[in-house]
Amino acid sequence: MSRLDYKLLIFDWDGTLADSIGRIVEAMHVASQRSGFQLRDDLAVKGIIGLGLPEAIRTLYPEIGDDELVAFRQHYADHYIASEAVPSPLFEGVVESLEAFRAEGYHLAVATGKARRGLDRVLKSHGWEDYFDITRAADETASKPHPLMLEQILAHCDVRPEQALMVGDSSFDLQMARNAGMDSVAVSYGAQSIEALRVFEPCLAIDHFSQLHAWLGQRAN
């Protein structure tokens, strides 16, 4: 497949576009403490980033009851929203690369484990309410790694799976792409190790976001 065959670039948000992993881990620890659950270590929490919040909490605490889950989610949201009074910064090279992709005619989309309210909040903070062709959040579709959000993005953009590329930092992102029949790119600077991501055979692994633009440009030559 040549670069010209890719028409749609789909990005995870946390850990791929935004440097927010530390805040997510902290909010999960605070919610655990306030809810009376034993803390999980940082590595365990990073391992569930990418899932929808209910799925993430239940993965960490399988024994949690429905009422406890509601309270836990509220504690998490309270702390995370407070910490995001100053939005998590975008990784270096993200703005410039996305602008270049837009100028080159790519469709751009976001597929995230965030809830819609949280995604809308961070998009607004960056002035990106209408930046992407489409965005999908975990609470309005199936959680990763189910391919539904990618299928919805593909349908909206009228693009075939082989014409799309999913970029993410978690196994859930790459497994979702595989489930949808599309290629993926792994980033090494997010929630999970590049060794864990290589299991899903991404067509590229990058250490800096700008490497994606360089790679796509090389494939066009």
List pLDDT tens digits, range 51-73: 999 999 999 999 999 999 999 99
pTM value is 0.92
Give residue-wise pLDDT tens across range 7-60: 999 999 999 999 999 999 999 999 999 999 999 999 999 999 999 999 999 999
Retrieve residue 179's tokens: 């489930």
- One domain, residues 113 and 199: yes
Q: How far is CA 211 from CA 14, 76, 187, 201, in A?
A: 18, 33, 10, 18
The residue range of the domain holding 58 is: 20-84
Mean pLDDT of the region 197-221: 91
CATH of the domain at 179: 3.40.50.1000
The single residue of 14, 133, 169, 183 carrying the catalytic annotation is 14
Residue listed under structure tokens 């702390």: 79
Percent of the chain at pLDDT above 70? 97
- Verify whether residue 158 is a known catalytic residue: no
Q: Which of 5, 12, 67, 207 is catalytic?
A: 12
Structural domain total, the chain? 2
Give the residue carrying structure tokens 């990784």: 91
Q: Which is nearest to 138 in space by CA: 156, 150, 122?
A: 150
153 and 142 housed in the same domain: yes
Q: How confident is the model at residue 221 (pLDDT cuts 50, 70, 90)?
A: low
Tell whether 185 and 118 lie within a shared domain: yes
**pLDDT, average across residues 91-116:** 96
Tell me the average pLDDT of the chain. Answer: 94
1 pLDDT above the threshold of 60 = no
Domain boundary among 63, 84, 105: 84
Q: Is 12 a catalytic residue?
A: yes
Same domain, 54 and 140: no
Rounded Cα distance between 82 and 77, Å, is: 8
